[in-house]
């Protein structure tokens, strides 16, 4: 089963219009040889999606949002719908990032509703799961991630969905799990996706690793079985580092 690797950048709450130069540079560096090997997307703040779509249009670089509301529209001040992200030029949206689960109390049920909204709007959801340090230390990492997969993936989701395994303790800390732990978790995640969606679909779902991916460790992390790409935070803010990570697939 061949899955097209996906390298996705999550800019979080960073980026002003001046940062569009980085997206332009990423688009320019995303050449045919790399395009043949991996898909590249950037998820800037929502304010930059429409201008980024213009800046990136000639390079084949895709765009995504970082969150969406479950509803299509309505009285939800300050929120943004999946349809709006799509209209602005996004083709993906991250849902259930641990920062949203922690800062905004997003439960698995909420994440699942957001993933369903993304699919309704024609966006591909990148559904994030991952254990905290305390949960790993207590030996609960697999159990926690298994439950998040069960609760956060819509039962009828198509095989195009993306799941990102992001251990919370590895995000922005410079720490990463051992390659053996990554291999164990990704194999387990694929099993749980199969239990949720069925075998045919599970084999096609891409499972990204996220958490302190850098140019220096990208190659070894991307080389682990069942790792189908990366979700990159801090190192996706500059074209230089992001493209050096994507180069793992050259
Ligand atoms: C993230 O926020 O999704 C992430 C993986 O961050 P970082 O790469 O900075 O650890």
Both tokens assigned to 38: 């991996």
pLDDT of residue 194: 97
Q: Note if 97 is an active site residue.
A: yes
Residue 33: its H or E element: helix 32-35
Both tokens assigned to 204: 């096609």
Quick check: 90 and 48 in contact, CB under 8 A? Answer: no
pLDDT of residue 2: 85
pLDDT of residue 81: 98
Ligand 1 atom nearest residue 213's Cα = 8
Q: Note if 220 is an active site residue.
A: no
pLDDT of residue 139: 97
232 lines ligand 1 (CB under 6 A): yes
Give one DSSP letter per residue of 162-218, joined into a string: EEEE--GGGTTTS----HHHHHHHHHHHHHHHHHHH-HHHHTT-EEEEESS--HHHH
Domain parsing of the chain, residue ranges: 6-31+38-171+187-244
Sign of the torsion angle spanned by Cα atoms 76, 51, 19, 95: positive
One pLDDT digit (tens) per residue for the chain, 250 residues: 689 999 999 999 999 999 999 999 999 999 999 999 999 999 999 999 999 998 876 669 999 999 999 999 999 999 999 999 999 999 999 999 999 999 999 999 999 999 999 999 999 999 999 999 999 999 999 999 999 999 999 999 999 999 999 999 999 999 999 999 999 999 999 999 999 998 889 999 999 999 999 999 999 999 999 999 999 999 999 999 999 999 999 9
Pick the CATH number of 6-31+38-171+187-244 from 3.40.50.10710, 3.40.50.720, 3.40.630.10, 3.20.20.70: 3.20.20.70
Pocket test for ligand 1, best of 212, 242, 244 (most atoms within 8 A of CB): 212
Ligand 1 atom nearest residue 173's Cα = 10
158 lines ligand 1 (CB under 6 A): no
- Atom 6, ligand 1: residue with shortest CA distance: 233
pLDDT of residue 47: 98
Sign of the torsion angle spanned by Cα atoms 160, 128, 65, 6: negative
pLDDT of residue 227: 98
* DSSP 8-state secondary structure symbol assigned to residue 248: G
64 lines ligand 1 (CB under 6 A): no
pLDDT of residue 57: 67
From ligand 1's centre to the CA of 233, what distance in Å? 3
């Amino acid at each position: 089963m061949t899955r097209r690797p996906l390298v996705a950048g999550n800019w979080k709450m960073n980026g002003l219009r001046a940062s569009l130069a980085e997206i332009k540079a990423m688009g320019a560096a995303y050449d045919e040889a790399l395009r043949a090997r991996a898909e590249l997307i950037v998820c800037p703040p929502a304010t930059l999606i429409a201008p980024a779509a213009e800046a990136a249009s000639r390079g084949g670089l895709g765009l995504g949002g970082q969150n969406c509301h479950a509803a299509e529209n309505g009285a939800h001040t300050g929120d943004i719908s999946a349809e709006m992200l799509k209209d602005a030029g996004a083709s993906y949206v991250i849902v259930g990032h641990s920062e949203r689960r922690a800062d905004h109390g997003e439960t698995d049920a909420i994440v699942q509703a957001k993933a369903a909204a993304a699919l309704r709007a024609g966006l591909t959801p990148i559904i994030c799961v991952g254990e905290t340090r305390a949960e790993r230390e207590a030996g609960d990492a697999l159990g926690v991630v298994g439950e998040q997969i069960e609760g956060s993936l819509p039962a009828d989701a198509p095989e195009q969905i993306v799941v990102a395994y992001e251990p919370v303790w590895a995000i922005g800390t410079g720490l990463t799990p051992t390659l053996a732990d990554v291999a164990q978790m990704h194999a387990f995640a694929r099993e749980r996706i199969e239990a949720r969606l069925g075998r045919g679909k599970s084999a096609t779902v891409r499972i990204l690793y996220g958490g302190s991916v850098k140019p220096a460790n990208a190659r070894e992390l991307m080389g682990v079985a069942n790792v189908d790409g990366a979700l990159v935070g801090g190192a996706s803010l500059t074209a230089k580092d992001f493209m050096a990570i994507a180069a793992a697939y050259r």
